[in-house]
Amino acid sequence: MVTLSDIDTIEFLVGRKFPPRTLAVLPSAGKTDQKVSSRLSMTERALIPMQVADHRAVLRAIPSDELEALFNRRFFHHPNADADFDHWSKAAHWTLDEAVALSFGKERKVVNSTALQTLQDVSP
């Protein structure tokens, strides 16, 4: 049975496969992203809504525990990305990157601006 949290997970996973820039070429998006739109043929643009619907259907058919595993595949969800607050509470000061990572409960050596750069266009 699909629950509300599964639906949010499904939408997240759809957004991972079809980044906002890709979805921005759809007529339902209101305005189109001209950079993406110019790279796609009319046929490719016409297929996106069907591909999104198919991907949602596939994700809805996956059991909740497997869906959760797919969601948690990002490096910042792994246990080694969790902050060691005992260590960081003893520091005399934090850099901006350290403070931001710690505010999310993450270890700055794992979750930092450089590591997140690759996800800039694909992960909300």
pTM for the full predicted model? 0.48
pLDDT confidence bin for 90, thresholds 50/70/90: very high
Mean model confidence pLDDT for the chain = 78
Does residue 116 register a pLDDT over 70?
Answer: yes
Encode pLDDT of 27-66 as tens digits: 554 444 445 455 667 787 788 888 889 999 999 999 988 8
**DSSP one-letter code for 59:** H
| Mean per-residue pLDDT, 93-101 | 92
* Of residues 52, 28, 29, 24, the one with CA closest to residue 40: 24
User: In percent, how much of the chain has pLDDT > 70?
Assistant: 74
- The Cα–Cα gap between 23 and 93 comes to 42
Question: For residue 84, which phi and psi values (nearest 5 degrees)?
Answer: -100, 90
| Mean per-residue pLDDT, 4-11 | 67
Q: Which of 36-40, 68-72, 76-80 has the lowest mean pLDDT?
A: 36-40
